[in-house]
């Protein structure tokens, strides 16, 4: 069965790069353009994995992650932060919000795919 990945990212170019990489690797991709829509979409589709930008409109990635993890039906879905926040302490902030993994932008496609495969072998 094809694994579904929800990509919550407000930048079209970033969504397209991630979509192309994942679709070409055999994953189904669902997209949301802001944190609020991402929380709703996660509840609707119950994806196998979520890639979460942190700088998002409506709800930032921290709050969107907290809301997803607070839902008992969604709490076990792994969430990987994919963010331009790459300063000391930023990875710890994403983990404190509930993210299971962290990748800094700009990322290499190989690095992102390796992280996805870590959670979806």
pLDDT (tens digit per residue) in 59-105: 999 999 999 999 999 999 999 999 887 777 889 999 999 999 999 99
| pLDDT value, residue 22 | 98
Would you kindly state where each structural domain of the chain is located, as residue ranges?
4-119
Find out whether 50 and 66 touch, Cβ atoms under 8 Å: no
CATH superfamily assigned to domain 4-119: Response regulator (3.40.50.2300)
pTM over 0.85: yes
58 vs 46: CA distance, rounded Å: 21
Mean pLDDT on 24-33: 98
Find out whether 73 and 46 touch, Cβ atoms under 8 Å: yes
């Amino acid at each position: 069965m094809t694994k579904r990945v929800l990509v919550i990212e407000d930048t079209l170019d970033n969504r397209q790069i991630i979509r192309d990489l994942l679709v070409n690797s055999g994953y189904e991709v669902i997209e949301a353009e802001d944190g609020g829509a991402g929380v709703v979409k996660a509840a609707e589709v119950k994806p196998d994995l979520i890639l979460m930008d942190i700088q998002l409109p409506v709800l930032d990635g921290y709050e969107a992650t907290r809301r997803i993890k607070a839902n008992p039906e969604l709490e076990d879905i792994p969430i990987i932060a994919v963010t331009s926040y790459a300063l000391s302490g930023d990875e710890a902030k994403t983990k404190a919000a509930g993210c299971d993994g962290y990748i800094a932008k700009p990322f290499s496609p190989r690095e992102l795919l390796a992280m996805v495969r870590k959670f979806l072998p």
